[in-house]
Every structure is written in structure tokens, then in C-alpha cells.
Structure 1
């Protein structure tokens, strides 16, 4: 990966020729169902990417859900650039990164083999039915501690570990129903009354949950927050009026914002959200291909209307290319060993998940 990034820098500085995709179809693999945040993210970018790529190829989003995204990621790992010639890209999520970080035996992919061309930050929002939300006293969630909650989950080793651990730190009794194929399916469970607590990434919350809030059937509980320049958790810029998990934790008896458990939650939050979604070219991608896609995404970001349309669909988060994307990849695929050890032990004790 580092070699590919260095090669791209030389190529870009030398004014590389790039690749021409005229008359071709670019297949963008999303390892989730068509109902979640990754689908909304890819469907937002796909037509813009088509316009920006040389030759204006058709960009088709292909959904490949299964095993919490490892099915699609394992498939992509097996692909070689020479076979696709720039017509195959992959969209990962924090739910793809976490199994990799935790050593899930189902993982056959390696981020070091892939070539990042875009990294998108995002946030997340937890929400409740009105009757449950009424039991909170301002930011204090203590009134929820005696309730029984059902949550539709993709799996405890996926991005869902961030909300599951947060709710446990707040003392909530949340029983996950594992096996859904995307976060959108969790929202549908909430809408049908099959779940009474849920969270969505920002893009899905904006499009799928905001109508529920406006209809009075869902009430935001908290966001996970965002990071400031010093690495502190602050309010999410997309939801500045919404308290963060840190604020709710500080207001709730028994929840601590220091110590091993907090450090583990924060480490996985950082790995899962500031660099939550990324676009990759497969192993062996040429410097020309990396330059072509990087420049295309940079052209998309440079559109006069990009800030307006992206904030409405994705929220107000960094959209990173080049060295920034590479840095985001590194932060998203590395967590301290102490945080890994805590989460691995917690997963085994709480959910019977053994990762060895």
C-alpha cells in the first residue's frame, strides 16, 4: 500500500496519463444490503463518479451482503487488477474494518493489498421510541436501566460493537438479534415494532430516520460525536444540537469516561467512524488507475454544488483523497493492542464470540 501511494505521488507529480474508461462499466461492490448507509453513500457518489471519470463510464453499484460484509470483502480480495483493468472498485465500512482488526477467522482479506482512493468520515445516531425516550431525564439515561431493549444487529464484531458497548456502559439491557444484512434492516425492525432501540450512520439517519422523528415515532437519544483537532470527542457537526455519547455517559450513574472500557470504546469509535467508508482499487492496481480515480473523486469534491448536496445526503464530514485518504485508512485499520484485548474479552464474555 505504501509503495502504491508513493508511486501515485510520483505519477501525479509527473502528470500521469491515467486510464480511459469510455464505453466501459465500472462495478462498485458494496458488501451490504441495499437498505443501509453504505448503499446511500455509494448511490450518492456513483453518478458523480461516472461524470468525473475519463470516458464517463457507467458506474453500477452491486450489493454483495453476507457474513457481516466479509463475504463481499473476501470476494474483492481474490480479484486482481489485471482482470478488471480499472472497472472494479470496492466500498468498505467500519463493519468491514472491525472483523479485520479483531482477527475474525472468516476474514480472508488484507487492507494492505488494496489501494484507497477515497475515505469518507461519518457519524452515528442512536434513537428510541417516544415512550422509552420519555424515561430519560435530560441527558441522564438512568431511567432506561430497568427496561428490556431489542436491537437488530449485523453482528457483535461489526460496527455494531460501538453502540452495543456504549449501551452496556450506560447500564442498558440490550438484547441484539444478530444476522441482519445491513443497518437499514435494523431500522425496518424498529419501524415494525420488532426492535425498540436502534442506531444508524448519518446518511441513513438523515434519509431514513428523520421522517420518523418528524412523524413522532422516533426520538434521537445521542450521537457518537466527532473528533476535534486534538482528538477530543465533540458534538457531531451534522447534529450540533444533539448530545454525544460522552455527554450522556457523564450524566448517567455508573458510566465512566475514563479507564479501560472507555479507552476501548473510543479507540473503536475512532477506527469506525472518522474513516468509516472507503473506496478501493484491487491488488495490483496501476499508478495510472490510482491517479485516475483519485483525480475523479477530487473533481467531484471540487464541484460548486458538492458541499450542499453532500451535506444533505451524507452529512458534514471530511471526504478525503490522496495522502489524507491514506492517513484515514491507517487510523481505521489500527487500534491499540489494549483496546483489542479488552474488546476480544468482552465479546467472549458477553456474547460467547471467540476470535481465535
Structure 2
């Protein structure tokens, strides 16, 4: 069974009786509250630490109206985009200013995870100060301009020694770490153009012809890039894949006709089992994509308000309308709530030290990036 239906058991071993007990506790706790939580007449401010138009912004704006419908009292939800620093600017501001009354929520993504995990000097936030209310697994796709004359991944690998690429990036320690490391591992000659305020900006640079290689997470790819593919303006090369129950990389069910990175690596380099670089790539893929996007409240938010959010999210992701629309917009990935969301965040934070050290050296050697 693929990741869109169930998490990798090696990362998320949650027994049924624990889940049942946790949900029972939620219900009992809610029942003993003297006054039910209501956000009637209130405004929820959602901080999105990315520019408009990227994958995280697309994801956050999709959920906004559903939050209004699902939360008690149906509060208005407003989006506040604060791009900069590979998401650190907005995340830092949320950490400093967010109130713990249930009306401030952060839309976090892989770039926010990576800069924290790699001890980036710009980071002023701490995941231990936040509480997840919903997490979304995702995938991603790397694609190329048709001007390069490449029609598929096999031709891409065969012509790597003849091709040069430009890739518009937010930064080497952001979500772009996964595609940049993947491309470097197979020997692609890629010049990263840093300074983008989000993956949406990278896509626009691709559309303007300023770069000839790009990647997008599934939500942005499905909504923004598929039309380019259909018009012949973009050629998909590979997806990042999904992790199955045995911890193996498999094709993303949203893109079954596109090879995953493991297949492309084997074409270019051979055996993946003995490759330390591939193992490190996989570790960062898991840390950045198993729960690639997470909605957080401040952990100091009162328990009854946290439970109101979490219970609302459980009901939301089970509604038929949401299930139908979410697959179209976000892809066929299971949305994680309650204890599954907690376990997903734990999986992010469990990135092994060996992988961190390996990547730190790679970042220094490749991009002269000091963490």
C-alpha cells in the first residue's frame, strides 16, 4: 500500500488501541468543557511564509474556506503571505507574534522544516513550541523545457554530458534541497539561481524562459504545470515518488506514468542500495514530504481550543465534498489529523544526524553554504 493510503510503518507505528484511546480522550475532554469553544464573529489569520502562487500558498488557500465551514462559529479566515528567507521570515514572525487564542495558525512546509533541522542561523522558531492540527503528505515533479529536445527521463540521462541547466531556487537549504541534491547525484550540470521567494516564483521564471528546469510539489504541479505539459511547454522528467510500507521508493500514484527518482538514479548510476548519497536524499525526502505541509497552532494555546481545532479537522477530512475536491487539487494523498499528524511531525524531527552531517558537507562544497 502506498503512502497516499497509509504512512510508512517504520515511521508511523500507531496501534489501533492507542488511536482509539486518544480520540476517546479528545471527546471526553470536549464534553467536560463548561462552555463550548466558538469562533463566531472572529477572524483567523493564517500565516503563509511564502509568496503567492506556490505550492504552499495553493494548499493554504484551498483549506481556508474549509476551515471557515468546519470550525465552530464559522470564523473568517484570512491569508497573510510573508515571503523571505526560505520561509524563515514568516515563521520567525509567527513564533514572535502569534497569539494562543486559536486565531493564529501557521502554514508550514518542507523549507520551514529543513532550515530548522539544519540549524540555519536565520531560524528563530522551535517546532517544540507548536502543535500540529493537520498535516499533508505530498510529492513533487521535476520538469524541463521542451527547447532542450528531451522527451523523457531516459533521453535526459543519456544526454546529461551535453546539457546545462538553470534552476530558479529559494535556497539550497529549503525544499529545493531535494531536487537540487537529486540532480547533482545523477551528474546533471545545474546552475542554481538563488533568491526566489517561493516555488511559484521559480515556476514563473521557467514560464518566462529565464530557466529551463524546474520542480513543483504535487498541488502546484497539478494546478499550474499540467496545463503547460498539455500545451507542450513543459516535459516531465521524474517524480520524487512515495514510500511504501517496507520503506521502498515507489511511483507516485498521482503520476504513475512518470518514473520516480530512484528509477532515474539507477539509469544514471546503477545500484541505489550501496549509494550513501541516495540514502541521504531519501532521508531528506522523508523529512520533507511525509508531512510536507503542516498547520500549526502555538503549543501554549489552551487545550480546549486545540481540541476544537483538531476535532474540526478530523470531521473536515472525512467529508465527501472535501475528499472529492482535495484529490483534484492536492493529489491522492491522505490528510493527517489527530495523533497521525503528531506522529508525522515526530517523523520530520527524527532526521538522523549522519544525514545532516553529510548534507552540511555537500552544501558547503557545492554551494559554499555555511549553516
The residue number in structure 2 matching 1:347 is 363
The structural deviation recorded for 1:131 is 3.5
Aligned with 2:72 (options 31, 54, 79): 54
Aligned with 1:193 (options 209, 221, 246): 209
Aligned with 2:43 (options 14, 20, 25): 25
TM-score (norm 2): 0.90
1:316-355 correspondence to structure 2 within 5 Å: 316-355=332-371
Q: What is the rounded CA distance, in whole Å, between the counterparts of 2:161 and 2:44 in structure 1?
A: 49
The structural deviation recorded for 1:353 is 0.4
CA-atom RMSD in angstroms: 1.8
- Asked whether the 8 Å contact 1:136–1:144 carries over to 2, the reply is no
Question: Is there any run of 5+ residues in structure 1 with no aligned partner, and where?
Answer: 1-5
- Asked whether the 8 Å contact 2:150–2:156 carries over to 1, the reply is no
1:173-252 correspondence to structure 2 within 5 Å: 173-252=189-268
1:14 maps onto 2:32 in alignment = no
Q: What is the rounded CA distance, in whole Å, between the counterparts of 1:139 and 1:35 in structure 2?
A: 31
Judged with a 3 Å threshold, the aligned counterparts in structure 2 of structure 1 residues 185 and 27 are, in CA distance, closer, same or farther, namely same
3-state SS of 2:247 partner: coil
Q: How many residues align?
A: 348
Aligned with 2:294 (options 278, 281, 299): 278
- Asked whether the 8 Å contact 2:157–2:264 carries over to 1, the reply is yes
3-state SS of 2:91 partner: helix
The residue number in structure 2 matching 1:3 is none
Judged with a 3 Å threshold, the aligned counterparts in structure 2 of structure 1 residues 147 and 254 are, in CA distance, closer, same or farther, namely farther
The structural deviation recorded for 1:137 is 6.5
The structural deviation recorded for 1:293 is 0.8
Q: What is the rounded CA distance, in whole Å, between the counterparts of 1:122 and 1:133 in structure 2?
A: 29
Judged with a 3 Å threshold, the aligned counterparts in structure 2 of structure 1 residues 235 and 42 are, in CA distance, closer, same or farther, namely same
Q: What is the rounded CA distance, in whole Å, between the counterparts of 1:344 and 1:145 in structure 2?
A: 27
Aligned with 1:171 (options 187, 190, 206): 187
3-state SS of 2:190 partner: strand
Q: What is the rounded CA distance, in whole Å, between the counterparts of 2:131 and 2:153 in structure 1?
A: 47
3-state SS of 2:78 partner: strand
Judged with a 3 Å threshold, the aligned counterparts in structure 2 of structure 1 residues 141 and 103 are, in CA distance, closer, same or farther, namely same
The structural deviation recorded for 1:300 is 1.3
- Asked whether the 8 Å contact 1:26–1:59 carries over to 2, the reply is yes
Deviates more, 1:134-143 or 1:194-203: 134-143
- Asked whether the 8 Å contact 1:137–1:143 carries over to 2, the reply is no
1:64 maps onto 2:64 in alignment = no
The residue number in structure 1 matching 2:124 is 108
The structural deviation recorded for 1:133 is 5.4
- Asked whether the 8 Å contact 2:115–2:123 carries over to 1, the reply is yes
Q: What is the rounded CA distance, in whole Å, between the counterparts of 1:142 and 1:334 in structure 2?
A: 37
Q: What is the rounded CA distance, in whole Å, between the counterparts of 1:27 and 1:44 in structure 2?
A: 15
Question: Is there any run of 5+ residues in structure 2 with no aligned partner, and where?
Answer: 1-20
The structural deviation recorded for 1:259 is 2.5
The residue number in structure 2 matching 1:43 is 61
Q: What is the rounded CA distance, in whole Å, between the counterparts of 1:199 and 1:11 in structure 2?
A: 39
3-state SS of 2:162 partner: coil
The residue number in structure 2 matching 1:299 is 315
Deviates more, 1:268-277 or 1:292-301: 292-301
Q: What is the rounded CA distance, in whole Å, between the counterparts of 1:54 and 1:270 in structure 2?
A: 34
Q: What is the rounded CA distance, in whole Å, between the counterparts of 1:22 and 1:136 in structure 2?
A: 52
Judged with a 3 Å threshold, the aligned counterparts in structure 2 of structure 1 residues 262 and 137 are, in CA distance, closer, same or farther, namely closer
3-state SS of 2:281 partner: helix
Q: What is the rounded CA distance, in whole Å, between the counterparts of 1:341 and 1:275 in structure 2?
A: 22
TM-score (norm 1): 0.93
